[in-house]
Amino acid sequence: MIKAYPMIFFIIIAIGMLFTLTLIDPIAQDVTYHLFADTKEIYYLPNFWNVVSNISFFYVGIYGIYQLIILKNLVIEKIIKQCYMMLFIAIVFVAFGSAYYHLHPNNQTLIWDRLPMTLVFMTLCSILISEFISIKKGLLLFYPLLLLGILSVLYWGYTESLGEGDLRPYIFIQFYPILMLPIILTQFSSLFTLEQEYWYLFGCYALAKICEIYDKPIYDFLEVISGHSLKHIIAGVGLYLLVRMFIKREKKASKDEK
């Protein structure tokens, strides 16, 4: 069923996840999330390393834009060029949004951290569908997916303002593309070579989440840098490896679009 009706399969997975989330009570943002282990102020900059470590996203985003627009080195499907451009722009926005949040961590600033992240998640989702399943379907879903990502954060922000925060839509937006990735990589073939290098992105994401969860234990052990700062760096490395893969890969012999 997966290969015969891929979009139906992923729609069923999405419906299943959404149904499961409806069985759970609304999830408000835990305010202790804002209490990061490393709060050192350096050069009058509060939470210095959690702020500065976002330079990894800025570098990758600018690097991707430079390779795409100036050098034209990326091996991509030209018809979905705007998807790759949005990916890199969103990564740059992640750098600014996350840095802004970490200057003054609270629910209001967290909105500006999460908005660009949903753009990254949803754009990657569209790119994966385009490269592995159908260019037409990936392009068709591009803008609706971006809208869904934005609405998930705005919905959370609105419910928090009412004192009834609900993160469930945002949780779906963040984890659905990550759930899709290993299924797509094992069940479908890409239009390009080096498709296995998407696993590097998946591995870096998983490691970054572990660092985020163990923020304080890592900081207590290393003393110089916290788990959350490492999360930014490792996620940036994963995205950098993705850009390098876009550069190194080659187009396979053309196959019929679905």
The token pair that represents 11 in the structure block: 């729609």
Looking at the structure of the chain, the number of domains it has is 1
Please check whether residue 255 lies inside any domain of the structure. Answer: no
The predicted structure's pLDDT at residue 90: 98
| pLDDT tens-digit readout, 31-51 | 999 999 999 999 999 999 999
Distance CA 206, CA 140 (A): 29
Please check whether residue 18 lies inside any domain of the structure. Answer: no
Please check whether residue 105 lies inside any domain of the structure. Answer: yes
Dihedral angle sign, alpha carbons of residues 80, 86, 88, 94: negative
Split at pLDDT 50, 70, 90, the class of 254 is low
Please check whether residue 20 lies inside any domain of the structure. Answer: no
Residue numbers of the domain that contains 100: 51-248
The predicted structure's pLDDT at residue 153: 97
Q: How many residues does the chain have?
A: 258
Backbone φ, ψ for residue 246 (5° rounding): -60, -30
pTM: 0.94
| pLDDT tens-digit readout, 144-183 | 999 999 999 999 999 999 999 999 999 999 999 888 999 9
Please check whether residue 183 lies inside any domain of the structure. Answer: yes
- For 4-8, 56-60, 217-221, which range has the lowest pLDDT when averaged over its residues? 4-8
The predicted structure's pLDDT at residue 126: 96
- SS3 per residue for the chain: CCCCCHHHHHHHHHHHHHHHHHCCCCCCCCHHHHCCCCCCCECCECCHHHHHCCHHHHHHHHHHHHHHHHCCCCCCCHHHHHHHHHHHHHHHHHHHHHHHHHHCCCHHHHHHHHHHHHHHHHHHHHHHHHHHCCHHHHHHHHHHHHHHHHHHHHHHHHHHHCCCCCCHHHHHHHHHHHHHHHHHHHHCCCCECCHHHHHHHHHHHHHHHHHHHCHHHHHHHHCCCCHHHHHHHHHHHHHHHHHHHHHHCCECCCCCCC
CATH number, domain containing residue 107 = 1.20.1070.10
The predicted structure's pLDDT at residue 256: 47
- Residue 24 CB: number of other CB atoms within 10 A? 9
Distance CA 84, CA 18 (A): 28
Q: Report which of 231, 185, 190, 238 is spatially closest to residue 64, judged by C-alpha positions.
A: 238
Please check whether residue 35 lies inside any domain of the structure. Answer: no
* 50, 226 Cβ separation under 8 angstroms: yes
| pLDDT tens-digit readout, 72-124 | 999 999 999 999 999 999 999 999 999 999 999 999 999 999 999 999 999 99
Average confidence score pLDDT of the chain: 94
Please check whether residue 24 lies inside any domain of the structure. Answer: no
- For 6-15, 125-134, 149-158, which range has the lowest pLDDT when averaged over its residues? 6-15
Please check whether residue 42 lies inside any domain of the structure. Answer: no
